[in-house]
Every structure is written in structure tokens, then in C-alpha cells.
Amino acid sequence: MFRRWAFATIVLVLLIAALAIPESRRVLRLDAWRLLHLNVGDYGPEDWINAARRSHASLGTDWETYLALAELGGSKRPEYYKKAIQAGPNRPETYAAALTEYSQRSRYTRSEVYGLSNGDTRVETELLDPELGRAILELAKKGSRVDPDNAFFDLIAADALYGMQRDTEALNVISAAARKSHYNSYRQAAAVCTVKYLEAAGLPSMEANLLVARYTLVFPHLAGILRISRLTVWHARQLDAQGRSDEARDYLTAIVKIGVLMRKGAEYPIERLVGSYTQSAIGLFEPTSPKRPEAIGGMSEADSQRLRTARVSKVLRAHGWPDLAALLERESASAAAFKEKLREYFRSSDQDVAGADLIIAATMIGLLFLRSSAVLLVIAGLVWLALKIGRRDSAAVPKLSRAGKIGLVLLGLLPWFLVGWTFVSSSRSTFGGG
């Protein structure tokens, strides 16, 4: 009887000791939660976020924590952005992240943009909500004070000004943005804060990075930047028609320089790509817009890009703007090289984005189960060692039966079985299988 109670006591003490280690608690908790969500398609960002919040109710009140909470979404997102700014009033990351959130609600339509690209003037102008526009301008102003050499805040402000039809002010802000030294939307900084929060809340690093990459890393401000480039080119055409060619040239030059700032300084490829398209908007200055690349029979995109650049350069030189034409030719060649590198990257990838995402998710789940299996095996080994040390007669220590050996083998194979099963079931649901 004593031996049975001693054995039970040792097991209980070891379990309590294992659960007292934070990492062990996180592994066991996350894997128990994962058992309920074996299929990758069965859970979404809210499940991940709620699980993280339940595991760690309070992680501090610094600006990084509030910024992470805001990036993770929810009804309190505006409140968390305000708290992040209050906690870090001199951090440009907080203002940039809040402006990115505002960009998701910054919707307006200017008929000039549609008429510029395809001659369709039937689209009616719908202006930006004035209250929202004023809030964006105030945040952009504060962000620009903290980071005065960053063109990002000026571009967001220009988009809001265009949305309220304050075009003269918008053009002045765009000219100022072109004179800045760099472009940084701080999306990477916000992503790092979010990953750190999720890791501190209990999610393993792989899960935290996957969640941020799939659900919180968004770039809604890029649509506004493309919009202001087109509107600025439209104004340049109007000024040129009025005989104010110097002003038209300056605004076109500003658009090219802004595109260069983005293409050379942005942290993410999508922003660099938008920078390339921003500087290419100058092509709309040509009275008759060129055909889309795919409409030019048998011509590659690179060749059609060179054709468009040559055509626009000819127009610019005819206006007496050789410096602008040379700038466009030089930067268009650099943009074409960047686009080709980007296409080569995607061509060389063995898996498409969806396939790679499934592999990451399936591997992640398998690794989590493997870690839990390792914890259980360590506990079992400690119990066996305690029994062996506590008994003088080593032969009396219980031996592992055949069923126990089979159980250990199955426990080792379980993680990899789950990896294969999860990947197959997720592939079917994602690619339209049975």
C-alpha cells in the first residue's frame, strides 16, 4: 500500500512541477486547444487572438502593447490606437498605424480619375466625410512633427485633402512630400509589436508570425497613394492647358520622385511595387492613354513598358522638359528591373502562396504536438527514474510491457500523422476537392 501511495505522490509532484513551468503550461494548453481545431480551415484570427488574451490578461500599458491590441482588431481598435499614441506620443509608429486604420475608412470618388484613365465621366464624385478627413489631417500633422523627413504622413494628408476637394492644399503637400528623404509606413514595426504581444501571451513564434502575416498585415493606404498620383497628373494636364507649364512640370516631377522614394525605401515588396506604379502614373499625362500591355499584340510587359516610357518621354521633351524626361527614363528602367526580379521570385517558388500557407500551418500543428509528446515522455522518464532510485532491488522496478512499447511508438508517430492528415484535409477544402 505504501509503495502505491509513494508512486502516486511522485507522479503528482512531477506533474505539478511540470505545470509550474510557464512554457510547459503554454504547450499543454495550446495543444489541448489545437485538438479541437485540427483542420486549418476550422479556426480564424478571432480564435487565435482570444486564446492569446485568455492566457495572459494583462501584458503592460506601454505603447507597443496598445499598438498590438489595436492591430489585432476588434471593437476597441480606435480606443487602443488612442492609448498607443498617448503612451508613445513621440513614436511615429503609433501615428502611422492609426493612419493606416483610418485609410480603411477613407473612401471617396473623384470623377476626374476615371475620366483621366478611360474618358468615362459618368462616375459621380463622392467626397470624404469631413469629420474623418479632419481627424486624418490632425494625425498626419502630428506624425510629421515626430518624423519630419518621412513622406508617408504627407501622402496620407494629401489623400484626405483630395477627398475633401481641397486640391490646392493637396498639391502643396505633395510637393513637400517629394522633397522628403525617405518613405516609411511603419507596417513592419507594427507587425513586430503584434508578434511580440502574441508570443508573450502564449502563442509560439511560428503561430504568432503566421497570424500577423495572414490577418493583420494590411496596406489600405496604398489605394490612396495611387489615387493621389492620378489626381495630380490630372491637375498637371489642366495647368498645362492653361499655359502654366512650369507648375505642371513640377507636379509631374513630384509624382516621379514620390514613386522613387517608395520603390527604394519601402519595407515590403507590395509598397515598392505601388511606388513603381505611382511614378508610372505620369504616363497619363499623354493626351491619349496608351493601350494596356496585354492589348499590344505579342509584346511582353517589359517591352510595352519601354514603349510607353519612350512615348511619354517624347511628349515631355516636346514640352521643353528634358530633365523630367531623363528622370522618367532612368527611373522607369529601374522600376522595370525591380518588377522583373519580383516576377522571377514568384516563378522560382516551388509552391504558390496558398500551398505554402497550408504547409506552414500543418507543420506548425505537428511541431506543437511533438513538443507536448516530448513533455509527456520527459515526465514518464522522471517517474521511472524516481522509482529506480527509490528501490534497492532494481529488478522490482516495473518493466515496460509490449502494450506500453506500442503506445510509445504510436505517441511518437502521432504528430506526423496529424501533419499529413491536416495538410490533406486542408488542401481539399482550399482547392475545391471533395
Higher-confidence residue of 266 and 169: namely 169
pLDDT at residue number 115: 62
State which of 45-49, 79-83, 251-255 shows the largest mean pLDDT.
251-255
- Which residues partner with 109 through β-bridges? 126
Q: Closest Cα partner for 278 from 230, 323, 319, 240? A: 230
Mean of pLDDT values over 157-183: 96
| CB neighbour list of residue 193: distance below 8 Å, 6 or more residues apart | 64, 65, 67, 68, 71, 93
Main-chain dihedrals φ then ψ at residue 150, nearest 5 degrees: -100, 125
What grid cell was written down for 430? 482550399
User: Given the C-alpha cell 503528482, which residue does it identify?
Assistant: 12
Task: State the pLDDT at residue 288.
Answer: 53
More confident residue, 45 or 159: 159
Question: Confidence class of residue 286 from pLDDT cuts 50, 70 and 90?
Answer: confident
The answer to whether the beta carbons of residues 177 and 155 sit under 8 Å apart is: yes
Which residue in 41, 70, 363 sits closest to 204, CA to CA? 363
pLDDT tens per residue across span 222-244 = 999 999 999 999 999 999 999 99
Give the per-residue pLDDT at 141. Answer: 96
Amino acid making up residue 112? E
Phi, psi dihedrals of residue 288, rounded to the nearest 5°: -110, 115
Who contacts 53 (Cβ-Cβ below 8 Å, separation ≥6)?
201
- Residue 294 is given by DSSP the state G
Please enumerate in sequence order all residues whose Cβ is within 8 A of that of 252, keeping only pairs 6 or more positions apart, or say none.
Answer: 232, 233, 236, 282, 285, 316, 321, 324
3-state secondary structure of 322: helix
Please state the rounded mean pLDDT for residues 71-91. 88
355-366: pLDDT as tens digits: 444 444 444 444
Element (H, E) at 96: helix 92-105
**Least confident span in 133-147, 320-334, 337-351:** 337-351
Whole-number Cα distances in Å, 110 to 34, 113, 167, 172, 182:
48, 6, 11, 19, 28
Burial class (CB in 10 A: 0-12, 13-18, 19+), 21: exposed
Looking at residue 427, what is its pLDDT?
41
Residues 272, 323: Cα–Cα separation, whole Å:
24
Confidence of residue 218 (pLDDT cuts 50, 70, 90): confident
Lowest mean pLDDT among 75-89, 111-125, 278-292: 111-125
Which tens digit of pLDDT belongs to each residue from 103-118?
Answer: 888 888 888 776 665 5
Q: Is the pLDDT of residue 142 over 70?
A: yes
Is the per-residue pLDDT at 423 higher than 70? Answer: no
Which range is most confident: 28-42, 68-82, 89-103, 300-314? 89-103
- Return the ∠ at Cα 189 (arms to 184 and 190), rounded to 5°: 110
Sorting pLDDT into bands at 50, 70 and 90, what band is 411? low
Predicted TM-score (pTM) of the model is 0.70
d(CA 125, CA 165): 10
Instruction: Work out the percent of the chain whose per-residue pLDDT is above 90.
Output: 34
Mean pLDDT of the residues in the chain = 74
Greater pLDDT, 26 or 159: 159
Closest CA to 47 of 160, 170, 214, 227: 214
